[in-house]
Chain A
Amino acid sequence: MKRIKVVLAKPGLDGHDQGAKVVARALMDAGFEVIYTGLRQTPEAIARIALDEDANVIALSSMAGSHVPICRKLKALLEQAGLSDKLWIIGGNLPERDHAELHALGFKGIFPSSSRLEDIVNFIRENAP
């Protein structure tokens, strides 16, 4: 079986990367291949990296509140790049009131602060294409 490949990105200007790096390590420990993008990625860069890397999973970490506008932009770009069939997930500081919109935008997994690493790993294992 092919190893699951995750592109884990920090979109926008948000500099809080402790959580993203912790999740990256958990995914690596779970046996996934992880491409961590580092900070300040534009939606265009994230879509390009996901395409170039032929990732199964596109994961975002957002702590500074701009997740909805970023996900709106990214959705269109991921669709254009033909990545609609990949698993899109997002974690971070994500108020409950935004979850429905994030789901509607195509983000199948939503992991707000306090989510467990094990739950993220299991979700990816069960849902990655």
Chain B
Amino acid sequence: MKPVINESGIEIKPLYGEADVAASGGEAMIGQPGEYPFTRGIHPLMYRKQPFTMRQYTGFGNAADTNKRFHYLIENGQTGLNVAFDLPTQCGLDSDDPAAEGEVGRVGMAVDTLRDFETAFDGVDLERITVSLTINGAAAVLIAMYLAMAEKRGYDIARLRGTAQNDILKEFIGRGTWVYPVEPSIRLVGDTIEYCARHAPKYSPVSVCGYHIRESGADPAQEMAYAFCIAKAYADDVIRRGLPVDEFAGRLSFNFNCFGAIFEQVAKFRAGRSLWAKIMKEQYGATKPGSMWVRMIAGGGGGGLTYEQPELNIVRGAYYALICALAGTQTMALCCYDEAYTIPSEYAQRISLRTMQMLLEEMGLSDTVDPLGGSYYIETLTNQMRSRMQAIMAEVDAQGGIVRLVAEGAIQAKVSAQAYRRQRDIEEGRFRKVGVNCYRTEDKTPQMEFHPYREDDARAQCAALAKVRAGRDAARVQSALARVEADARSSANLMPAIMDAVKAYASVGEITKVLVGVFGRYREPVRF
């Protein structure tokens, strides 16, 4: 019999029994849902009480276009929003910056000032629909904009819920929308966590992402281990400021990938949940259950989808959704079948949304908590995945810690070498992908509805920005930006100054330029 080794390097047996569970560490870490160590879920009743939130990643063109798509998704039963920003916004550039040419509004919504946020969320009930901002390098500014926009509309930010991705360490590994060097970037993340803990305690200022590390070539155990190393780096920064762990850890959230083998993935989530709880309790002395929770969004898995026979991605998406529901995710977002080609069409978005709704309405996935719990195979694999993650985290610490390894480009080099080996394995048929290296068809690719890009929209965005600039109180903007600069040079928390600046309609680019003047820019270490 040919041996089967899963992607995380664990040998898979043809059959599992009680002895395997015992040999892998036993049942000590299983527990009950809603109880430490939360292997079976962070809530006692999970989806029986509240089904997962459905939050498709959406945004393109300008704020008005995106607002229309938001309303379309909400009308179709989506229960949260997940905002995509264009690359200039993500990199902290204004739409009229020469470096933004050709990229304004292309892969997400263009945001220059608070005015764009006012338009984007017009008519969206921010208490009923929680909003997640997929923003990293420019996160402090965009979080400030979101809070300012909500405040302006009369919401009490002390009660406002929502999430920002704001995980800069993983941007250095994959995704690449960094702005400042590593150390000041971590400080900014710490500033947002500290500020939210004090002023917007229901808001989740960070969603630590294993997702993109996996996309960059990490295996599933590394994905989760590296994400936890990164989450610890942020927690350490905040604790150094004197904030007790229980005052902020409950608002840390996570974003994980899910492509790969079904049971390995489910075990990964269960293992990760218990490992994080153990870390928070034993290493950080957390006492509130919420501080030990892995609250997460999952469901994407772009790296598992294929360019070939793209309609098969609808089926893959359904399996990925199943994995995430079996694993007890809080929020789900599926990649659309056309994403290897274009920004998803309305039609493709709706198929993804219906896929998730089907699990809840037709397939009984919300009936019972942790339905795979107690399976010999799943419990063994959960123990084994947890051990793998612990070993990887120990290795990172022994090599100098995640911050150093990322700053030096060591993690990047490691995962990209793995991505290369995987690509070779696919091309040479050792790692099977249906439609790619087996069961290929020579049919022509089905017609795709390509998302249009209009140069005129970019010009209109620049004109709108010019109008905001002309209409605002210039002296107020100047003094707000001067305060941002002064606070950046001191050790003050930057968020109050950034809040002032966005309320004065200072732009993303203007605020970022001031910070770059103080912090400098990241220089990418290129290592192979």
- Which residue numbers of A lie inside 8 Å of B, CB to CB? 12-18, 21-22, 24-26, 28, 36-40, 42, 64-66, 69-70, 93, 95, 97, 112-114, 116-118
Query: In the bound complex, what is the Cα–Cα distance between A70 and B102 (angstroms)?
Result: 8
Contacts of B106 in A (CB 8 A): 64-66
Residue of A37, A65, A69, A117 touching B424 (CB-CB under 8 A): A117
- Which residue numbers of B lie inside 8 Å of A, CB to CB? 87-88, 90-91, 93, 99-103, 106-107, 171, 174-177, 215-217, 306-308, 340-342, 416-417, 419-420, 423-424, 427, 436, 450, 453, 524, 526, 528
- In the complex, the answer to whether B176 meets A17 with C-beta atoms within 8 Å is yes
Query: In the bound complex, what is the Cα–Cα distance between A21 and B306 (angstroms)?
Result: 19
11 of the cross-chain contacts (CB-CB < 8 Å) are: A13-B87, A21-B420, A25-B416, A26-B420, A40-B176, A64-B87, A64-B103, A66-B106, A70-B102, A114-B308, A116-B427
Contacts of A22 in B (CB 8 A): 416, 419-420, 423
Contact A69 to B102, CB < 8 A, known contacts A13-B87, A118-B427: yes
**How many whole Å from B341's CB to the nearest CB in chain A?**
7
Contacts of B175 in A (CB 8 A): 15-16
Interface of B is mostly: loop
- In the complex, the answer to whether A18 meets B215 with C-beta atoms within 8 Å is yes
Contacts of B427 in A (CB 8 A): 116-118
- In the complex, the answer to whether B524 meets A38 with C-beta atoms within 8 Å is yes
Residue of B308, B423, B524 touching A39 (CB-CB under 8 A): B524
- In the complex, the answer to whether A25 meets B102 with C-beta atoms within 8 Å is no
Contact A65 to B99, CB < 8 A, known contacts A22-B419, A38-B526, A95-B342: no
- Most chain B CB within 10 A, of A15, A16, A28, A40, is at A15
* Additional pairs, 8, CB under 8 Å, beyond known A65-B453, A114-B308, A118-B427: A12-B102, A13-B99, A17-B176, A21-B416, A93-B341, A95-B342, A114-B306, A114-B436
Contacts of A37 in B (CB 8 A): 526
Residue of B90, B103, B171 touching A12 (CB-CB under 8 A): B103
5 closest Cβ contacts across the A-B interface?
A15-B176, A69-B102, A13-B87, A114-B307, A21-B416
Query: In the bound complex, what is the Cα–Cα distance between A37 and B524 (angstroms)?
Result: 9
- In the complex, the answer to whether A36 meets B176 with C-beta atoms within 8 Å is no
In this complex, what residue of B is CB-closest to A25?
A: B420
Contacts of A16 in B (CB 8 A): 175-176
- In the complex, the answer to whether B217 meets A18 with C-beta atoms within 8 Å is yes
- Most chain B CB within 10 A, of A25, A37, A112, is at A25
**How many whole Å from B51's CB to the nearest CB in chain A?**
32
Contact A95 to B341, CB < 8 A, known contacts A18-B216, A116-B427: yes
**How many whole Å from B92's CB to the nearest CB in chain A?**
10
Query: In the bound complex, what is the Cα–Cα distance between A27 and B419 (angstroms)?
Result: 15
- In the complex, the answer to whether A13 meets B423 with C-beta atoms within 8 Å is no
- In the complex, the answer to whether A13 meets B88 with C-beta atoms within 8 Å is yes
Contacts of B91 in A (CB 8 A): 13, 40
**How many whole Å from B526's CB to the nearest CB in chain A?**
5
In this complex, what residue of B is CB-closest to A63?
A: B107
In this complex, what residue of A is CB-closest to B420?
A: A25
Contacts of B90 in A (CB 8 A): 13, 15
Residue of B171, B453, B524, B528 touching A25 (CB-CB under 8 A): B528
Query: In the bound complex, what is the Cα–Cα distance between A26 and B423 (angstroms)?
Result: 10
Query: In the bound complex, what is the Cα–Cα distance between A102 and B107 (angstroms)?
Result: 20
- Most chain B CB within 10 A, of A18, A39, A64, A65, is at A18
Query: In the bound complex, what is the Cα–Cα distance between A97 and B481 (angstroms)?
Result: 45
Contacts of B420 in A (CB 8 A): 21-22, 25-26
- In the complex, the answer to whether B176 meets A39 with C-beta atoms within 8 Å is yes
Query: In the bound complex, what is the Cα–Cα distance between A92 and B496 (angstroms)?
Result: 41
Contact A18 to B524, CB < 8 A, known contacts A13-B99, A93-B340: no
Contacts of B423 in A (CB 8 A): 22, 26, 117
Contacts of B341 in A (CB 8 A): 93, 95
Contact A24 to B528, CB < 8 A, known contacts A13-B88, A13-B91, A95-B450: yes
Contacts of B417 in A (CB 8 A): 25
Contacts of B176 in A (CB 8 A): 14-17, 39-40
- In the complex, the answer to whether A65 meets B107 with C-beta atoms within 8 Å is yes
- In the complex, the answer to whether A15 meets B177 with C-beta atoms within 8 Å is yes
Query: In the bound complex, what is the Cα–Cα distance between A42 and B97 (angstroms)?
Result: 13
Query: In the bound complex, what is the Cα–Cα distance between A112 and B307 (angstroms)?
Result: 10
**How many whole Å from A20's CB to the nearest CB in chain B?**
9
**How many whole Å from B438's CB to the nearest CB in chain A?**
15
In this complex, what residue of A is CB-closest to B342?
A: A95
Query: In the bound complex, what is the Cα–Cα distance between A63 and B174 (angstroms)?
Result: 14
Residue of A14, A15, A116 touching B171 (CB-CB under 8 A): A15
**How many whole Å from A12's CB to the nearest CB in chain B?**
6
Query: In the bound complex, what is the Cα–Cα distance between A97 and B417 (angstroms)?
Result: 33
**How many whole Å from B246's CB to the nearest CB in chain A?**
35
- In the complex, the answer to whether A18 meets B419 with C-beta atoms within 8 Å is yes
Query: In the bound complex, what is the Cα–Cα distance between A93 and B340 (angstroms)?
Result: 7
Contacts of B524 in A (CB 8 A): 38-39
